[in-house]
Amino acid sequence: MEAALRLSEGESHCKTFTACRSSFDTVDPEEVSLCFYPSAGSNESTPATPDVYQDETQDAAKLAARNEHSVSWERPEGVGAGLLNTGNTCYLNATLQCLTHTPPLANYMLSQEHSRSCCHQEDCTMCAMETHVTQSLLHSRDVMKPPKKLTATFHKDKQEDAHEFLMFTLNAMHESCLRGSKHSEGPSEDSSLIHEIFGGSCRSQIKCLSCQGTSDSVNPFLDISLDINTAQSVNQALENFVKPEELCGENAYHCDHCQEKMPASKTLTIETASKVLLLVLNRFSDFTGGKVNRKVSYPESLDLRPYMSQPEGGPLVYALYAVMVHAGMTCHCGHYFCYVRAGSGKWYKMDDSKVERWDVTSVLSEPAYVLFYVRETELNKGSHSRGRNPSGSL
């Protein structure tokens, strides 16, 4: 499991949302032949004429104003725009689509709070993501190029791992939040917007089998990686995740009380549940790049309570809202696409520039790589806001 907030080696450069409008990458309708699909709740079947010169700031405010507060856990209406594959960029596109359809992140970006107060606009991943998410949700039936300001540092004109790009982007956004705003210092390490949405923690407990003494440590995470080599379902993989591991032989535990290496058991549990839960199914070998193609079922509704450090209490239920899929035999080739759930509750397949309605039964039968869940109690809060300062801290 990737248990720590990792720092990016470089961040994207961007301008404010308004300044970026003239340079934003949209696709000339005559440049490529594409199939357009209506947004959720629309009865239209023909493509809309792109209007990239409208006042996006005003429109974003209207879209965000559909919620009582601009920052909320309510799902934004409709579905985002398709993204053009400019050459081995399917992994970028799938990742950006999943983030664009993450309810609290999308609502915060639509509010444009960050760019209004950011004092690092030329070097800010949050500003770049704000521009992308707002454009995508405002021009839902257009096709856009993946934004260079978000991808240039990572993309080297070859296929990369979508999960690695996801974590790279989240950590770059986290760093952007930490740098503060024109009006305040940055938030603390564990109170940025990204940590508030995606952050949780795991408890590792090692128990000496001789003296019965225990040693506990708690580490933060943005995602949880699951071994699927023997699992037939996500629930079974989570059961294996919290199953005690024997430490013996060369892996024996050095017990401070016994003053020597002793047999021990190690148990991982989820100490603090994140509000948005990212589950990574380990399909790729670190050594060969080969892929685990076994079918692993996953639920539309997931109860995380049995895997918590404190398993007593009521259900801790999460709702599935996005699924990232890799089609191919190794991590070095193949194709990435994803499925997202719009505010209407309808599911869409986002396959580069192609966006089409999909039924949930088919979604749940796909060989998922990364699963995106949101805690139902947060969704049920609707437009309730917990108040933030402009830097994105709590």
pLDDT of residue 157: 77
pLDDT of 24 higher than 50 = no
Q: Which residue ranges make up each domain of the chain?
A: 17-202+269-380, 203-268
Residues known to be catalytic? 90, 335
Out of 3.40.50.720, 3.40.50.970, 3.90.70.10, 3.30.70.260, the CATH code matching 17-202+269-380 is: 3.90.70.10
Q: Distance between CA atoms of 373 and 276, rounded to whole angstroms?
A: 6
Digit-coded pLDDT (tens) for 337-375: 999 999 889 999 999 999 999 999 999 999 999 999 999
pLDDT of 227 higher than 80 = yes
Are 336 and 90 contacting, i.e. CB atoms less than 8 angstroms apart? yes
Digit-coded pLDDT (tens) for 90-127: 999 999 999 999 999 998 998 888 778 777 767 788 99
Higher pLDDT, 393 or 98: 98
| CATH number given to 203-268 | 2.20.210
Are 146 and 92 contacting, i.e. CB atoms less than 8 angstroms apart? yes
Model confidence at 388, pLDDT cuts 50, 70, 90, reads very low
What is each CA distance from 361 to 186, 245, 279, 300, in whole angstroms? Answer: 43, 35, 20, 10
- Stretch 124-144: mean pLDDT: 91
- Lowest-pLDDT range of 42-46, 159-163, 179-183: 42-46
With tokens 């440049």, the residue in question is 31
pLDDT of residue 173: 92
pLDDT of residue 184: 52
Higher pLDDT, 332 or 312: 312
| Exposed e or buried b per residue across 63-89, where buried means at least 16 C-beta atoms within 10 angstroms of its C-beta | bbeebebbbbbbbbbbbbbbbbbbeeb
